[in-house]
Amino acid sequence: MNKIIDVTELCLRDAHQSLLATRMALEDMVPACADLDEAGYWSVECWGGATFDACIRFLNEDPWARLRTFRQLLPKSRLQMLLRGQNLLGYRHYEDGVVDRFVDRAADNGMDVFRIFDALNDIRNIRHSVNAVRRNGKHAQGTICYTVSPLHTTENFIEMAERLVELGCDSICLKDMAALLKPQPAYDIVSGIKARCGEGVRVHVHTHATTGVTLVSLMKAIEAGADCVDTAISSLSLGPGHNPTESLVEMLEGTGYEARLNKACLRRVKNHFATIRPRYQAFMSNIHGVDTDIFDSQIPGGMISNMESQLKQQDAEDRLEEVLIEVPRVREDAGFPPLVTPSSQIVGTQAVFNVLMGRYKVVSSEFADLMLGYYGKAPGERDPTVLALAAQQAHKEAIEQRPADLLQPEWEVLRAAATALPGCDGSEEDVLTYAMFPPVAPGFFASRELGPKYLGVDPKAAVAKPGASGAEPSPLRAPVTYDVKLNGRSHRVSVTPISE
Amino acid sequence: MNKIIDVTELCLRDAHQSLLATRMALEDMVPACADLDEAGYWSVECWGGATFDACIRFLNEDPWARLRTFRQLLPKSRLQMLLRGQNLLGYRHYEDGVVDRFVDRAADNGMDVFRIFDALNDIRNIRHSVNAVRRNGKHAQGTICYTVSPLHTTENFIEMAERLVELGCDSICLKDMAALLKPQPAYDIVSGIKARCGEGVRVHVHTHATTGVTLVSLMKAIEAGADCVDTAISSLSLGPGHNPTESLVEMLEGTGYEARLNKACLRRVKNHFATIRPRYQAFMSNIHGVDTDIFDSQIPGGMISNMESQLKQQDAEDRLEEVLIEVPRVREDAGFPPLVTPSSQIVGTQAVFNVLMGRYKVVSSEFADLMLGYYGKAPGERDPTVLALAAQQAHKEAIEQRPADLLQPEWEVLRAAATALPGCDGSEEDVLTYAMFPPVAPGFFASRELGPKYLGVDPKAAVAKPGASGAEPSPLRAPVTYDVKLNGRSHRVSVTPISE
């Protein structure tokens, strides 16, 4: 008897977030839902901060309506979302009452599995969301952000898993957002969690494909006892995305493990996304193939492009090398936070400041907050000199408590502000949309009734599905002009292909 | 103490053969050689049938001179080639005297490691080359073509390895040209070979990346005791190519295995090929990401596109599905040959014939030869009815002996024909060039003195190497001739791009 390996399909959330700048519109997902629902996945990830943001910022699409659509079209499937703990889907800490209402509404609208993480792995930022999910009778998945630093030992990750289990999490996720998880650490951490927390504790593993090694890491995690792994259908996989679902299925043949997915469904899902992917050409990631430099630099690719554009704005593109050397120093000063949104941007920007203006001559307010504990507790000791500088420049004290403990109840304030906006329908969902993205929500509320749109997406770029009736790829019609010399005389000849 | 895993680098041969239609010119390889030589590879694969062919057909480059250049620029490295057994680098069986001379000249010009395979895994087609390599004091690697069929069991592959060892091979290669080798079979075959033939028998594993699973297969092969694996530098990897060298190196960290390669050298090699790759845009494979359909269809991607173009020529593109169903039948009738050049083309073409004209109404002469034993012994029983039809249509008898045993000494004939060609320098190397590619060699000999050219390659597409001094890609100089109709009269017009 093979052990069944569960699979979470990422194509509706992280895959297009990683490959197509989160731009995929609901109407391009709908045709795949029936097959996704029948394929036999453990869960279908379909919601998160960036997809919520892109809905209201670019697509004029109500993210709550999107969730309800998924609930309707995927009746057999567990719907899964990524939740940034006390940050929910936004970029600041929310007061517990907002967290409660967000989780209640997400659960009511159809969410089943909440994968909850904190960028600093500060468990205090995860606790309240976990409780809210459990109160709703839904699946609370406690998440460990995998990173590499002198402090992030296997033992350290196993201890965090223990604490997540104590919190009452229904499962543990080892989340490797930067493709840094090599096979042996994957094996060691997963088997360590199983040994410490018990074989019955479900362990899920999320990796990206960027470095090219992580399908091997998934194999090792499975050998170590992982219960579920995350993959994306092959036509939305690889590069900065994820390992292909179909490859996982095939990889396991004969190993004693089995991902019991319906191959005919997978093939149709693959073909669907292969067909619509060209529409998003303008948003496609430039990263192809693999990049293993990140193992040495510890700096994710997305973070480098951020820093490059910051340097460019200052006419200082030639100083990137210095910034790349500065990043690990800044990270160490800050107590080795994992480099993931938002800590990656905060550390990167401070490294740019340090190179351009001298070390900590100017401290960004976000970096000051990071140093002073306003994002939570850093994994390690922070540099006392830099800490003092941050306090001085930000005119703030360092804090030790959970950041959200400093917040006053804010639901009524948010509700008043949201409901005053033209187009707000007064629902708790709308208040939450406003709470998550205050600068973006007003425009969305005002334009919502126009309905979803392909903003910036060229639907004509779609390649016709083979066998699809009616749709014909447009023939090459552009004339090419040559300068042709014939018997010594120059002729201007225009050649236009003629379709037959 | 970690076990050292040896690595064969493929960037100079199979990588660009798989990704850039074998078009890479020597001058684009030269700048990488110093780093390749220092990186610490077990061998550098740099020569084979398709690269030899492309040299004389497209690049006006002497393949023997290319080999001598590698020998000079890679003094510390084992140079490795792929040899098609009794077919050498051509498409027919050669008499043993030609095999001897070919191996002698290759060894004399600098080749160290000869990877020798036969498309049918008929060991009789490998034997003479192995003896010739050993007589030259070089490394003879006996190769098992991996394929999937009811006959190709783990035991069957292990037995073939035994026979290759008995032949005197210095090492065994498990060659997975279609990316069909899954992790568990990789483990079982490699560990089986080690158990049966002895731990001291070196096992090398060659895989392609097409299906996305084979880096895991390399990991399993390593765990099973493989001594050496094949990879390609990341900027010339993945898709229908190979797993990335850098990912292999990183993957092994902490596992007790180690590929001791110099990362700084790898990074420079990667950057070099990333820089020159855009020059070959016109030849780039359209396959990106992964394709796992081949696991079910057993039909390699390249074979499907061949059959598609054959159908198109007959205005029968709509019958591809029928052909895809016919292919496994034809393969079974022929005794389950591995589907690799040339058997893949032969089986594919016969399947097209069967669909268009009725089953075996017309038997291609190549398929008749395959059925009748003129390529060697098929792995399994051939269908007696089809065998009889083939004999009848081809007016030939089935043979049981080694095909080359039917051949008369042919060296003098080849030499006379070659040396009569304008531009032939009379060397044994030139005779062999003619012997391998009789239709192509005359044109090459005639134009050789013009020197290597970038035929069809657009050097303007190359991104300039940051900071590279001096070296400029040679401009495209080949005239293109058009037949242009102007006012009803036909004109032969030659167009030559003029450098600015």
The secondary structure of B366-416 as a DSSP string is HHHHHHHTBTB--SSPPPHHHHHHHHHHHT-----S-GGGGPPP-HHHHHH
> Taking CA atoms, what residue in B is nearest to A216?
B216
pLDDT of residue B498: 37
Task: Please report, to the nearest 10 degrees, the dihedral formed by the alpha carbons of residues B243, B246, B249, B250 taken in order.
Answer: -100
The number of angstroms, rounded, from the C-alpha of A174 to the middle of its chain's C-alpha atoms is 14
The residue type of B332 is: E
pLDDT of residue A454: 56
- Which residue stretches of B154-212 are H helix? 154-166, 183-197
- Residue A65: phi and psi, rounded to 5, are -65, -35
Q: How many CA atoms, within 13 angstroms, populate the side-chain half-sphere of residue A45?
A: 30
Q: Is B3 on the interface with A (CB under 8 A)?
A: no
pLDDT of residue A497: 35
| Element spanning A384, H or E | helix A384-394
Instruction: Look at chain A and count its residues.
Output: 500
Instruction: Name the E strands within B30-111.
Output: 43-47, 79-83
The secondary structure of B245-265 as a DSSP string is HHHHHHHTTTTTEE----HHH
Q: Two tokens at B396?
A: 């030939």
Q: Is B291 on the interface with A (CB under 8 A)?
A: yes
Other CB atoms closer than 10 Å to residue B44's CB: what's the count? Answer: 27
Chain A residues near residue B215 by CB distance under 8 angstroms? 212-213, 215-216
pLDDT of residue A491: 54
Q: Is A357 on the interface with B (CB under 8 A)?
A: no
Burial class (CB in 10 A: 0-12, 13-18, 19+), B490: exposed
Other CB atoms closer than 10 Å to residue A321's CB: what's the count? Answer: 9
Question: Residue B213 is nearest to which of A185, A247, A295, comparing CB atoms?
Answer: A247
Q: Is B317 on the interface with A (CB under 8 A)?
A: no
Angle between helices B63-73 and B26-38 (to 10 degrees): 30
A with B: how many residue pairs have Cβ under 8 Å apart? 113
Calculate how close chain A gets to B468, using CA atoms only, in Å: 17
Query: Cα(B175)–Cα(B353) distance, rounded to whole angstroms?
Result: 30
What is the DSSP-derived secondary structure letter of residue A464? P
Calculate how close chain B gets to A211, using CA atoms only, in Å: 6
DSSP-derived 3-state class of residue B167 = coil
Q: Find which of B207, B233, B245, B251 to mutate to test the A interface (most A CBs within 10 Å of its CB).
A: B251
Calculate how close chain B gets to A66, using CA atoms only, in Å: 29
Calculate how close chain A gets to B245, using CA atoms only, in Å: 10
pLDDT of residue B306: 80
Q: What is the ipTM of this complex?
A: 0.88
Q: Is A467 on the interface with B (CB under 8 A)?
A: no
Query: Cα(B28)–Cα(B1) distance, rounded to whole angstroms?
Result: 38
pLDDT of residue B490: 53
CB contact under 8 A, A216 and B212: no
Q: Which of residues 327-346 of A touch B (CB under 8 A)?
A: none
Chain B residues near residue A213 by CB distance under 8 angstroms? 215, 247, 250-251
What is the DSSP-derived secondary structure letter of residue A383? P
Residues 6+ apart with CB under 8 A from B93: B86, B87, B125, B374, B375, B403, B404, B407
Best CA proximity match to A83, nearest among A41, A109, A111:
A111
CB contact under 8 A, B184 and A290: no
Query: Cα(A86)–Cα(A117) distance, rounded to whole angstroms?
Result: 9
CB contact under 8 A, A250 and B182: yes
> Taking CA atoms, what residue in A is nearest to B294?
A250
Q: Is B257 on the interface with A (CB under 8 A)?
A: no
Is A16:A22 a contact under the CB 8 Å cutoff?
Answer: yes
Burial letters A159-197, b for 16+ CB under 10 A, else e: ebbbebbebebbbbbbbbbbbbbbbbbbbbbbbbbbeeb
Question: Taking chain A, what is the end-to-end CA distance rounded to the nearest angstrom?
Answer: 58
Query: Cα(B285)–Cα(B288) distance, rounded to whole angstroms?
Result: 8
Q: Two tokens at B20?
A: 């850039």
Is B383:B389 a contact under the CB 8 Å cutoff?
Answer: no
Q: What is the pLDDT along chain A (500 residues), one digit of tens a residue?
A: 899 999 999 999 999 999 998 999 999 999 999 999 999 999 999 999 999 999 999 999 999 999 999 999 999 999 999 999 999 999 899 999 999 999 999 999 999 999 999 999 999 999 999 999 999 999 999 999 999 999 999 999 999 999 999 999 999 999 999 999 999 999 999 999 999 999 999 999 999 999 999 999 999 999 999 999 999 999 999 998 999 999 999 999 999 999 999 999 999 999 999 999 999 988 887 667 898 988 887 777 677 878 888 898 899 989 988 998 999 999 999 999 998 878 888 999 999 999 999 999 999 999 999 999 999 999 999 999 999 999 999 999 999 999 999 999 999 999 999 999 999 999 999 999 999 999 999 999 999 999 887 544 544 544 433 333 333 333 333 444 455 555 555 555 444 333 33
Calculate how close chain A gets to B489, using CA atoms only, in Å: 13
> Taking CA atoms, what residue in B is nearest to A467?
B318
Chain A residues near residue B18 by CB distance under 8 angstroms? none
Q: Is B275 on the interface with A (CB under 8 A)?
A: no
Q: How many CA atoms, within 13 angstroms, populate the side-chain half-sphere of residue A132?
A: 27
Other CB atoms closer than 10 Å to residue A322's CB: what's the count? Answer: 15
Other CB atoms closer than 10 Å to residue A72's CB: what's the count? Answer: 10
pLDDT of residue A307: 85
Q: Is A237 on the interface with B (CB under 8 A)?
A: yes
Q: Is A251 on the interface with B (CB under 8 A)?
A: yes
Chain A residues near residue B186 by CB distance under 8 angstroms? none
Q: Is A283 on the interface with B (CB under 8 A)?
A: no
Other CB atoms closer than 10 Å to residue A283's CB: what's the count? Answer: 17
At which residue do the structure tokens 């007016």 appear?
B395
Q: Is A216 on the interface with B (CB under 8 A)?
A: yes
Question: Residue A234 is nearest to which of B237, B246, B292, comparing CB atoms?
Answer: B292
DSSP-derived 3-state class of residue B36 = helix
Q: Is A442 on the interface with B (CB under 8 A)?
A: no
CB contact under 8 A, B246 and A292: yes
Q: Is B412 on the interface with A (CB under 8 A)?
A: no
Q: How many CA atoms, within 13 angstroms, populate the side-chain half-sphere of residue A155?
A: 2
Q: Two tokens at A5?
A: 């390996």
Question: Residue A185 is nearest to which of B185, B254, B288, comparing CB atoms?
Answer: B254
CB contact under 8 A, A244 and B219: no
Chain A residues near residue B495 by CB distance under 8 angstroms? 482, 484
How much is the pTM?
0.89
The residue type of B8 is: T
Question: Residue B215 is nearest to which of A215, A244, A246, comparing CB atoms?
Answer: A215
Q: Is B244 on the interface with A (CB under 8 A)?
A: yes
pLDDT of residue A452: 87
Q: Is A209 on the interface with B (CB under 8 A)?
A: no
CB contact under 8 A, A255 and B183: yes
Question: Taking chain B, what is the end-to-end CA distance rounded to the nearest angstrom?
Answer: 59
Query: Cα(B367)–Cα(B361) distance, rounded to whole angstroms?
Result: 13
Chain B residues near residue A216 by CB distance under 8 angstroms? 215-216, 219, 251
Burial class (CB in 10 A: 0-12, 13-18, 19+), A412: exposed
DSSP-derived 3-state class of residue A447 = helix
DSSP-derived 3-state class of residue A123 = coil
CB contact under 8 A, B219 and A254: no
Burial letters A258-267, b for 16+ CB under 10 A, else e: ebebeeebbb
Q: Two tokens at B138?
A: 């070089």
CB contact under 8 A, B491 and A493: no
Peptide bond between residue B342 and the one before it cis (omega within 30 degrees of 0): yes
Best CA proximity match to A333, nearest among A345, A350, A315:
A350
Calculate how close chain A gets to B291, using CA atoms only, in Å: 8
Q: Is A451 on the interface with B (CB under 8 A)?
A: no
Q: Two tokens at B465?
A: 């190497």
Q: Two tokens at A496?
A: 């236009």
Q: Two tokens at A365?
A: 């307010």
Please, what sign has the CA dihedral across residues B24, B29, B35, B39?
A: positive
Query: Cα(A364)–Cα(B207) distance, rounded to whole angstroms?
Result: 50
Chain A residues near residue B237 by CB distance under 8 angstroms? 289-290
Best CA proximity match to B86, nearest among B346, B375, B483:
B375
Other CB atoms closer than 10 Å to residue A488's CB: what's the count? Answer: 5
Question: Residue A213 is nearest to which of B188, B238, B251, comparing CB atoms?
Answer: B251
The residue type of B322 is: E
Integer Rg of chain B from CA: 23
> Taking CA atoms, what residue in A is nearest to B257?
A184
Low-confidence ranges of chain B (pLDDT < 70): 286-287, 301, 454-500
At which residue do the structure tokens 């008898």 appear?
B397
Burial class (CB in 10 A: 0-12, 13-18, 19+), A309: exposed
pLDDT of residue A487: 53
Query: Cα(B173)–Cα(B183) distance, rounded to whole angstroms?
Result: 16
